[in-house]
Amino acid sequence: MSLYLYLFLLLIIYIFLVNNFIKNKAFNLKIIIALTISVIFIFLFQSIKNNEGYAVNHDLPNSFYVLNSYIEGDNILILIREKDKEPRLYRIKKSIELNRFLKKYNSLKKDGQDVVVKKHNAPNRDSLGMYIESVQKKLPLK
Evaluate if residue 56 carries a pLDDT over 80. no
d(CA 49, CA 59) in angstroms, rounded, equals: 17
Domain boundaries, the chain: 2-51, 63-134
Angle at 52 between CA 36 and CA 12, to 5 degrees: 35
d(CA 105, CA 49) in angstroms, rounded, equals: 30
Mean per-residue pLDDT for 115-126? 68
pLDDT digits (tens, 9 = 90+) for 61-76: 888 888 888 888 888 8
d(CA 19, CA 41) in angstroms, rounded, equals: 16
- 106 pLDDT tier (thresholds 50, 70, 90): confident
Q: Look over the chain and give the mean of its residue pLDDT values, rounded to a whole number.
A: 78
Of 36-50, 90-104, 110-124, which gets the smallest average pLDDT?
110-124
